[in-house]
Amino acid sequence: MKRRAISSEISARPAGPWLRCFLSAAFWMLVCVAVARTSFAQVDIPGPERLSHVEGYVVNPVGHPAADVGVTLSRDGKVAFQIRTNKDGWFRFDHVKGPFTLQVARTEYAPAARDIIVTDEVVTALERKKLYIILGPGACQDACSSVLTSKRDFDREIRQRNKH
C-alpha cells in the first residue's frame, strides 16, 4: 500500500523547473529554426518560357512604347534573328523554332533578356502568349528589366512602378 501512495504522489506532482526549462528551450529552438529557414533569400530563376511564336511589346519603365529598340534571338552566343520595335514598341519574329535567348538592347534604359523555347506544341499554341517587356532604368546594371507573358502581371507591374 505504501508503494501506491508514492507512485500516485509522483504522478500528481507538478512538473518541475527542469521540465519547464526543457520545453521552453525546445519551443525557442523550433522558432529559431523556422525563422532561419525563411530568412535565407531564395533566388527564383525561371526556366525557359515556352512559346508558339515570338511577339510582344517593349515599353519603358513607366509603360510608354520603346520605339526602334533592337530585339535579338541568340543561340549559343550568336545572333540568329534580329529586328527592331515599331513606333508602338511592337516586335514579331516569324518562322523561328527551338531554344533561344531573347535580348532587348540597352538604350537609355536597361537591357532585358529571357531564355525561351519556341515550339509548335498544342499547349503553347492554345496559350498564344505574348511577351511584355518592361525596361528598367538606364542606371541599372543588373536584371531590373522584366519579361512577362501575362497582360495582367504587366499591367500590375506598370501600376506599381508608377506609384513611386
DSSP string, 70-137: EEEEEETTEEEEEEE--TTSEEEE-S--EEEEEEE--SSS--EEEEEEE---HHHHHH---EEEEPPP
Whole-number average pLDDT of the chain:
78
Angle at 114 (CA atoms; ends 110, 119), nearest 5 degrees: 150
Q: Calculate the dihedral angle through the C-alpha atoms of 124, 90, 104, 145, rounding to the nearest 10 degrees.
A: -80
How much is the pLDDT for 89? 96
Q: Is 113 exposed, middle or buried (0-12, 13-18, 19+ CB in 10 A)?
A: middle
The band of 99, judged by pLDDT with boundaries at 50, 70 and 90, is very high
Cell (9 digits) for 120: 509548335
CA distance 111 to 146: 10
The band of 144, judged by pLDDT with boundaries at 50, 70 and 90, is confident
CA distance 60 to 103: 15
The band of 93, judged by pLDDT with boundaries at 50, 70 and 90, is very high
pLDDT in tens, 7-21: 444 555 555 665 555
| Best CA proximity match to 80, nearest among 130, 123, 118 | 118
DSSP element (H, E) containing 20: helix 17-39
Cell (9 digits) for 32: 529559431
